[in-house]
Amino acid sequence: MRERTLDQQCTVTRPGLAHIAASMAVELMVGILHHDQKHRASADPKDSANSSLGLLPHQIRGFLSAYSMMTPKTPSFDCCTACSENVVSEYRRDGFKFVRRVCGDTSYLEEISGLKKLREQTDNLEVDWDLDDEDDEEINDIDSNSD
């Protein structure tokens, strides 16, 4: 448990950390509201000079074992159900009609975002899981020692 991030901790740990997560959420929201680019702000530390409140991370990962936090930077996922180009343009075009359709049809958002197609592609992949001889020997050794 100690090497896991806060969101991966057990349900006993989480309630004690809820106030920390809530305070970070408030700080991030204030940062977004006061940034010139709002939710499109860069998470790059070089760009933090553009904001009077400093760095505006897209994600915060906390480690209780080391009392530390990190702010990873990753490119946006082109099949994101919240911010992908297809979803945003569909929302801008149809507004509340889009929201109503998403709420009424559970597969619509996956189809629009591209997740459905991505899932189909991964389901059709054929993966060769053959182990080489060295791996087979290690597995056999583990099996024989566990008896």
Active site residues: 10
Cα–Cα distance, 130 to 36 (Å, whole number): 53
Q: Which residues of 92-104 are buried (b: 16+ CB within 10 A; e: fewer)?
A: eeeeeebeeebee
- Write out the two tokens for 64: 């209780």
CB 56 within 8 A of CB 32: yes
Read off the pLDDT of residues 76-98 as tens digits, 9 standing for 90 and up: 788 988 888 999 999 999 999 99
More confident residue, 16 or 134: 16
| pLDDT of the residue at 102 | 94
| pLDDT of the residue at 75 | 76
- pLDDT exceeds cutoff 70 at 141: no
Query: Percent of the chain at pLDDT above 70?
Result: 73
| pLDDT of the residue at 74 | 74
| pLDDT of the residue at 93 | 96
Q: Which residues are CB-contacts of 64 (< 8 A; sequence separation ≥ 6)?
A: 2, 6, 9, 13, 17
Read off the pLDDT of residues 23-67 as tens digits, 9 standing for 90 and up: 888 988 888 888 888 877 777 777 666 667 777 887 788 777 788
Read off the pLDDT of residues 8-31 as tens digits, 9 standing for 90 and up: 665 555 666 778 888 888 988 888
Cα–Cα distance, 80 to 59 (Å, whole number): 15
CA dihedral 26, 31, 33, 35 (to 10 degrees): 180
| pLDDT of the residue at 14 | 63
- pLDDT exceeds cutoff 90 at 147: no
